[in-house]
Amino acid sequence: MMCRRSPKKVEPPSATQSHEVIRQHDPVHDWRVRQLTRLGISWPLAQAVADHVDWHQVARLVQHGCTPRLALDIVR
């Protein structure tokens, strides 16, 4: 005779459960964001591009007279 398990009851996620965190706290990312914002890049934009641009290149262009946004566009 086969043993049958009773089906497990599936509970919907509770309202207190948090969504999965996609990105862990990354101090290097945060530092890059700070460097870009010091150059005049808005925080949301700096947050979005921090891992994709070399902030040193952006800084060099800003030091040579580019606006922060233009420097970022050139580097990207």
pLDDT value, residue 24: 72
Query: Do residues 76 and 53 make contact, with C-beta atoms less than 8 angstroms apart?
Result: yes
pTM: 0.66
Grade residue 14 by pLDDT with cuts at 50, 70 and 90.
low
The Cα 69–Cα 15 span in angstroms is: 40
What one-character DSSP code corresponds to residue 16? T
> What do you get for the CA distance between the two ends of the chain, in Å?
68
Cβ neighbours of 74 (radius 10 Å): 12
Q: Where in the chain are the domains?
A: 27-75
Task: Read off the pLDDT of residues 20-58 as tens digits, 9 standing for 90 and up.
Answer: 545 578 999 999 999 999 999 999 999 999 999 999 999
pLDDT value, residue 53: 95
The Cα 40–Cα 34 span in angstroms is: 10
Six token digits for residue 40: 């005049």
